[in-house]
Structure 1
Amino acid sequence: MAHVSDLIAKDIDTYLQQHEHKSLLRFITCGSVDDGKSTLIGRLLFESKMLFEDQLAAVEADSRKFGTQGDDIDFALLVDGLAAEREQGITIDVAYRFFSTDKRKFIVADTPGHEQYTRNMVTGASTADAAILMVDARKGILTQTRRHSYLVSMLGTRHVIVAINKMDLVDYQQLTYEQIVADYRRFAADLGMKDVIFIPLSAFKGDNIVEPSTRMPWYKGPTLMQVLEQAEIDDDHSTQLPFRLPVQWVNRPHLDFRGYCGMVTSGRIKPGDRVRVQPSGKESTVAAVVTMDGELSEALAGQSVTLTLTEELDISRGDVISSVTGPAEIADQFECTLVWMHDSPLLPGRPYLLKIGTRTLTASVTEIKHQVNINTLDKQPAKSLELNAIGLCNLSLDRAIAFDPYADNRDMGSFILIDRFSNNTVGAGLINFALRRANNIHQQPLDVNKAARAQLKLQKGCVLWFTGLSGAGKSAIANAVEKRLFSMGQHTYLLDGDNVRHGLNKDLGFTDVDRVENIRRIAEVSKLMVDAGLIVLTAFISPFRAERDMARTLVESDEFIEIFVDTPLDVAEQRDVKGLYRKARKGELKNFTGLDSPYEAPQNPDLRIDTTHMNIDSAADLIIDLLKTRKVVCA
């Protein structure tokens, strides 16, 4: 018995070792709704013998339950795990599945076909080596086929397989297959897609999945599994690129060890190699490449390691360690391709969090050059990007980063945008190149600084940011405060929402996009005035928290005072000094804050003034007292 157990254990060890050293291919299935993506994956799991008997029995029972006829099995039920998917017959979430053959391991992402879940498809495609674009032989090339093809092309997926599915429902006609191939080739040529493989198949019946179909003798090409087993993997390509390691963590267990941990995203590294830390530009030599299993003579792309250097440098999370001979680029402004993934539109000028590699920083889109029409590939003008829209944009960061263009290095050139308040991922982008202005514009050192200007005026420069609904009393209170400060001999300037629209912002309307730009300009002007040592008062509705938060971040934390003039909508509307509410109620004034455009009240203002219980003079007294307490002015 012991001898038999030893043999079994040896066989298991041998199998595990063989399995461990197989290459891994990541691929996605995508296309329009009901093209058969989930069925295909279920068939691959079945054909690769990755199903247990109880799983097979369960799916056979479910197939009967959901109306499959005869002995056929609905393999989509293996993948569509969400109840809503089973009931509707569509895929909502991205479902990841693992299977293997004698030659290779696979991770497949079953991505949604419906347009509203395009963002899920981008998620699945972002790490894929190959893409299987499903086409229903009865329907041909559809809008979503074009959309997913564009995304696959944009993301640089190296292997594209067009699986013309459901050939069993068109009697395996060669003419149908050839017509779809011709249609797709014309579209693919406009995208620059050249090496596309076409396979006629039936995921439901198993034709051309693993074995060549006897029902399509006219097709002489490879089966789907043959293509997947022979496709080149991106990891092999990444090893040939210049070395990059985004620092994830600085390991300092004791005073005698300082290591820089992260995954090698490209290239290779070994002790003795010269490296450059970016964006600082400092250089050193690799002393050791360390892992949990000990030191390595060399590390390759895809390996997580800790590097020690011969010199102690100031390196932190988010920095990139690069090869000296092929360093990354450094910039803070880029042209990028952006896929918008949120129900709320992208608004140029609005600050978002940007995560690239291991670094998170603040970014905003400064310009949308155009939006792409997926059906025609035409470039269309756009002021904002809606859900699932794809645009070519200029992007500005609050500091310089190390990067490579996405076309050269997917890991170093891709990023996501995150909403600052909800923490939701709202966009995914690819860096095309650094803008020339990023390298040509430098900060000019000046001898007279902010502190000197403020000292001359015997005050501290700051922003009093008044916010509230139209008619709340912002301008009246700000005007009263400035009069008090002027009489005290302080140096001030009042920026009023109506007044600046006669000059600086006269080109802006009242759409959300224009409101964001309106506040961005005022925030930048306020920053300059604070630098001049002034006490600047701004009286703007400024309806969105994101823009008020952006204005706060432009100056020092103690130089920004948010004053919420809190007046209920019904009270503000009763006042209606300018008659704007009456116009808005009649439909003569669109996008009016509080009625058909939202107002996001401050959650933690520095000062809240309730004008239903406080008059203008009392409010001004309260603000002056706050300025004295904060030592903005002398008591």
Structure 2
Amino acid sequence: MSTAAPAIKDHRALRFLTAGSVDDGKSTLIGRLLYDSRAILADQLDTLEKKAAGQPIDLSLLTDGLEAEREQGITIDVAYRYFATKQRKFIIADAPGHEQYTRNMVTAAAGSDAAVVLVDITKLDTSAKPVPLLPQTRRHALLAHLLRVPSIVFAVNKLDAAADPAHAFKAVSESLTAFAKQAGIAVAGIIPVSALRGDNVTQPLDADWYDGPSLLQLLESLPALQERKDGDLLIPVQYVSREGEGTGNQPRTLYGRVAHGRVKPGDEVQIFPSGQTAIVAEVRLASEVVDVVEAGRSAGVVLDRQLDVSRGDWIATPKTVHETNRFSATLAWLDTEPAQVGRKYWVRHGNRWVQARIASIESRLDIHSLEATEAHQLAVNEIGHVIVETQQALPVESYESNRVGGSLIIVDPASNRTSGALLVKGAA
């Protein structure tokens, strides 16, 4: 049967991650996309065929590159792969499904345009009403939603192993739809696939019970993330450079990725935390002098006068940034050592490191009921609402309005482990 593909409105490269529980088929799905789109090098394919020794190729080996991953048969680190179709280019992040490596999934989600959450139908009781979803399926979908991944797709995998795929897909789809509605997740699509066999991955499914697009057709139609280009300027300073070192007269160039707005010569800007103002004398893009640099691109800013600016400072439109040392946030805790009230941590906001403490844990999110429950600490992989106090005031924004100004990471000062991700709600 023929299936109409969604209209393609955005031709920019799409960054997407695959998520879901262990052994749901994430690596195999990516391998299938690469294989069917002919994005595998000849020597890679030859190696896989030799290892298969006449058996079907193990497509998961295309992304599971670490020796430990091959030995254990699981994904540990995030693997990035690239491929293109006639319609679009793609950057894929294969995120691990094991709870132990949830922090890696968060890292991949933070910069993604879309998330494909796999659902292994063989692990679910499709006769139940509603079908109970796996905790990691719910957790990864919630994290992608909290991290403002614009498009979330559920791929119901391994339908080739279902006795009645039509009934199984319908039952799981109803459960996913109900969960998404309760969580406030706008789902871009629920797609039936068999990553192992290739059903409905790159080519539409020939079945009388499904008339939607293939996974690839849907991905080709999804929008890429668009940072806010109009309005106020915000740039976290990452690097300060002085070309012609030693002359004493060369102006310094302040480099950073534009979080929102645009910067051009003649703009008045304010530096935080000093509060001093200056006029932009010159803007550079990849060492070339340009007229303007917009959000999402890295800019080099030269000011009309020398100011004390260093890595970790912020460049912004005057009087638009409000600093605070106490704010409320959603905390995704990723460390085996629980998050504790009163304990001191390091937090990174933009490119600045400051000391902070969790002033209070207001609630914990129950991923099964999606209700806020009372909590005094947060265990590994738990999500909660907290109040944070920092040693120095920071120009934080709501994460809902800006992912750069509204996000922080927490690091344990004793172990140097990345312990959590903070998504700012507002000043407390």
- Specify if TM > 0.5: yes
Partner of residue 322 from structure 1, selected from 316, 341, 350: 316
Amino acid at match of 2:210: Y
Partner of residue 204 from structure 1, selected from 196, 204, 211: 196
1:251 maps to what in 2?
241
2:46 maps to what in 1?
57
Q: Deviations over 1:331-374 (max 9, x none)?
A: 11110111111122222211111111111111110101111121
* Matching of residue 225 in structure 1 with residue 251 in structure 2: no
2:354 maps to what in 1?
361
Q: Looking at both structures, which has the greater relative contact order when contacts are Cα pairs under 8 Å and sequence separation is at least 6? A: 2
2:325 maps to what in 1?
332
Q: Tell me the SS of whatever aligns to 1:162.
A: strand
1:540-555 map, 5 Å? none
1:373 maps to what in 2?
366
* Matching of residue 301 in structure 1 with residue 295 in structure 2: yes
1:114-263 map, 5 Å? 114-140=98-124, 141-171=133-163, 173-214=165-206, 216-234=207-225, 236-240=226-230, 242-252=232-242, 253=245, 254-263=248-257
Structure index of larger Rg: 1
Partner of residue 20 from structure 2, selected from 31, 35, 41: 31
2:67 maps to what in 1?
83
Partner of residue 397 from structure 1, selected from 390, 405, 416: 390
User: Aligned-pair distance for 1:172?
Assistant: 6.4
User: 4+ residue runs of structure 1 moved beyond 4 angstroms?
Assistant: none
Q: Distance in 2 between matches of 1:125 and 1:394?
A: 24
Q: Cα gap change, 1:231/1:96 in structure 2, threshold over 3 Å: closer, same or farther?
A: same
1:614 maps to what in 2?
none
Q: Distance in 2 between matches of 1:362 and 1:123?
A: 22
Count of equivalent residues: 407
The structure carrying a bigger strand percent of its residues is 2
Q: Distance in 2 between matches of 1:114 and 1:311?
A: 52
Q: Distance in 1 between matches of 2:51 and 2:230?
A: 48
1:429 maps to what in 2?
422
2:4 maps to what in 1?
none
2:8 maps to what in 1?
none
Q: Cα gap change, 1:292/1:410 in structure 2, threshold over 3 Å: closer, same or farther?
A: closer
User: Aligned-pair distance for 1:241?
Assistant: 5.8
* Matching of residue 289 in structure 1 with residue 283 in structure 2: yes
Amino acid at match of 2:339: L
Tell whether the 8 Å contact from 2:153 to 2:190 is kept in structure 1 after alignment: yes
Give the TM-score of the pair, scaled to structure 1: 0.61
Q: Cα gap change, 1:293/1:318 in structure 2, threshold over 3 Å: closer, same or farther?
A: closer
1:491-502 map, 5 Å? none
Q: Distance in 2 between matches of 1:196 and 1:105?
A: 19
Amino acid at match of 1:33: V
2:272 maps to what in 1?
278
Partner of residue 94 from structure 1, selected from 61, 72, 78: 78
Amino acid at match of 2:154: V
Q: Cα gap change, 1:424/1:108 in structure 2, threshold over 3 Å: closer, same or farther?
A: same
Q: Deviations over 1:309-332 (max 9, x none)?
A: 22333322212111247x233111
Give the TM-score of the pair, scaled to structure 2: 0.90
Q: Distance in 2 between matches of 1:161 and 1:364?
A: 36
* Matching of residue 113 in structure 1 with residue 97 in structure 2: yes
User: Aligned-pair distance for 1:71?
Assistant: 5.3
The structure carrying a bigger helix percent of its residues is 1
User: Aligned-pair distance for 1:424?
Assistant: 1.8
User: Aligned-pair distance for 1:240?
Assistant: 4.2
* Matching of residue 41 in structure 1 with residue 33 in structure 2: no
Tell whether the 8 Å contact from 1:147 to 1:375 is kept in structure 2 after alignment: no
Tell whether the 8 Å contact from 2:115 to 2:149 is kept in structure 1 after alignment: yes
Tell whether the 8 Å contact from 1:372 to 1:391 is kept in structure 2 after alignment: yes
Q: Tell me the SS of whatever aligns to 1:84.
A: helix
2:130 maps to what in 1?
none
User: Aligned-pair distance for 1:212?
Assistant: 0.8
